[in-house]
Amino acid sequence: MIFISIKNTIFATKQSNDGMNMKKILFIIGSLRAKSFNRQMAEVAKEIIGNQAEVQELDYSRLPWVNQDIEQPEPAEVARIRKAITEADALWIFTPEYNFSYPGHLKNLLDWLSRPVKPLDYETPTCINGKRVALSGAGGKLATAKCREKLSELLSFIRADVLPEQTGVAVPPEAWTTDVLTLTDEQKAQLKLQAEKLLQ
């Protein structure tokens, strides 16, 4: 097992019994809040995956807003994130719902990933083209249904491979005061199914 350090956090690059590197799954949290319910749900998903894959979270908090004036040459932060997406075997997005849609900072990330790496080159695949993506969300009464519907449409448009299996969680009222999300057995089973599909 090889250990690498990223931003003072130690990650293990897991290897299978035959010495081959394991698959890499990159988690993308749609909320920037430290105690985000979606980050808590991602932690449960990480436990479900266990040692079946290497799991890391993408930090995109310093990503600049999409602006064609700075698009070329690509900013260093954009290059770093594109590299992380390219090296991942699959993505798993956990996101809240903002006004029946997805958060603006998440849309900004996906807009950068959809842009051509080479100026005006729309033929070369982007870093998210064909990438397998799972969607989960924790939010209000609708359990992020509208967000996940629109996000599925957006991801399909930029040619990501979106899994049909999804998990939506309506955050119970008491969690909004405790900042602690407790998932039901049924919700954990849905996450387990998503993990299985993502690992196939």
The values of phi and psi at residue 139, to 5°, are: -165, -145
Q: What angle do CA 196, 81, 1 make, to 5 degrees?
A: 55
What digits encode the pLDDT tens for the residues 22-57?
899 999 999 999 999 999 999 999 999 999 999 999
What digits encode the pLDDT tens for the residues 85-100?
999 999 999 999 999 9
- What is the overall mean pLDDT for the chain? 90
Nearest-angstrom CA–CA distance, 63 and 48 = 29
Residue 5 has a pLDDT of: 34
What digits encode the pLDDT tens for the residues 138-147?
999 999 999 9
23 neighbors 56 (Cβ within 8 angstroms): no
Cα dihedral value 91, 93, 94, 95, nearest 10: 170
